[in-house]
Amino acid sequence: MAEEKVAQPSIVEELLLCRSVYSIAFEGAMRILELSQGFPRGGPNSIYAQIIQISSNVCENLTNAWQNRGKIHLFTTKLNDAAVAASDTQNQIEAAEHAGLITAETALQLKQKYEEVIDKIAGMIKENN
């Protein structure tokens, strides 16, 4: 029985998907940066420092994934790293909400944005496995 070939996305489709998910993540990171200007600043473990770092990591890992798109293992690893960072960002958003630093409505909007990022990354990983 002949093995069925699965159509791989073209480089243009991959670029558009990567740009789409990157744009969403970048928009979220910029919104977080804007909101966090009012957060109390402590040390490197403060909510301020952590939420900015982890939301930036989503974009950084997506960039690294794209740079390694020809190496499926590295591409997938960096996509996984980006998904983990997006999930961690959701946790930090929830912590900021519970600390009274952002409203429930703002937290929900941001968490939904990062859920979209996670969903798109999961689709990219699935397509490349």
Q: What percent of the chain has pLDDT over 70?
A: 85
CA 97 from chain centre, in angstroms, equals 19
Give pLDDT tens digits for 16-64.
566 789 999 999 999 999 999 988 887 777 888 999 999 999 999 999 9
How many domains does the chain fold into? Answer: 1
Query: Considering the domain boundaries, does residue 12 fall inside one?
Result: no
Q: How far apart (Å, rounded) are the C-alpha atoms in residues 17 and 75?
A: 14
Query: In terms of pTM, does the model score above 0.75?
Result: yes
Query: Residue 78 above 90 pLDDT?
Result: yes
Query: Considering the domain boundaries, does residue 15 fall inside one?
Result: no
Q: What is the 3-state secondary structure (H, E, C) of the chain?
A: CCCCCCCCCCHHHHHHHHHHHHHHHHHHHHHHHHHHCCCCCCCCCCHHHHHHHHHHHHHHHHHHHHHCCCCHHHHHHHHHHHHHHHHHHHHHHHHHHHCCCCCHHHHHHHHHHHHHHHHHHHHHHHHCC
Query: Considering the domain boundaries, does residue 94 fall inside one?
Result: yes
Query: Considering the domain boundaries, does residue 23 fall inside one?
Result: no
Query: Residue 8 above 60 pLDDT?
Result: no
For residue 110, give the CATH number of its domain. 1.20.1440.60
Domain span at residue 58 reads 35-127
Q: How far apart (Å, rounded) are the C-alpha atoms in residues 83 and 94?
A: 17
CA 2 from chain centre, in angstroms, equals 38
At residue 124, the pLDDT reads: 85
